[in-house]
Structure 1
Amino acid sequence: MEATKRAALCAVCALSPRKYKCPACESPYCSVECYKVHKGSSNCIPKPNTAAATSTGSPLDRRHDKDESAALRALLDNPHLRSLLTEVDGAQDKATAMRLAMQEPLFVEFADRCLSVVAPAEGERED
């Protein structure tokens, strides 16, 4: 039972529940402060397949990334979308600002494009 509790805690401070994973080594941490400590330590050893997965891939994967990047750039050229993004970024209540922005079809399209880059739909990419 005690080992299970420790496993659910931040690997840096061991006080708070883990919320995030280091993108390089997948070590769990709880906050930006703990992440900075972790990244500055010698404990962050990137997993070999993590670096390879981001720098290589099939030509089909790279073509998909270029297509999505071009589509995102085209969307970001839209002044209305840029205005919406600025409003969300500057809002005091980000959750409400996001809910309002998601009422705009242009913003939804942008969000969908972003999600398709970071988390492709099943079957969209073959890994």
Structure 2
Amino acid sequence: MNACIQCNEASSYKCPICRKPYCSVACCKLHRETPCTAPEIPKVEPPKEPMTFDFPTEDTVPIEKLELLKQSSEVKACLDNPHVRTILELLDKSPHPDQLIQEYMQEPIFTEFVDACLKVVQPPENDE
């Protein structure tokens, strides 16, 4: 158990703002006489190790190309649509996404998203 920040007794409560412990209403009132601030939440850095695929195939898109999706304004515009985001969440949670994709490919808004992604990861080859 933590010690009260005012009287060092055993504390049962925490300030809702700064999360420091206090033991009673009296100590809480004393603490509130001086303004407090919320503690800084440390930023969590993503892992630096490169992502790999467990079972790559000849159709596996390289990580470098997948990273390009983040920069595509067309993909971002598609993701602004809440219906597209809902479809993607359902696909992500589905035990059989392959069956759902067949169904969603009938929806123009989803095919627009898929086409935007394909333009980034599989750009059309120039006929020169």
- The TM-score with structure 2 as length reference comes to 0.44
Q: Which has the larger radius of gyration?
A: 2
User: Which has the higher relative contact order, 1 or 2, with Cα contacts under 8 A spaced 6 or more apart?
Assistant: 2
- The TM-score with structure 1 as length reference comes to 0.44
Richer in helix (by share)? 1
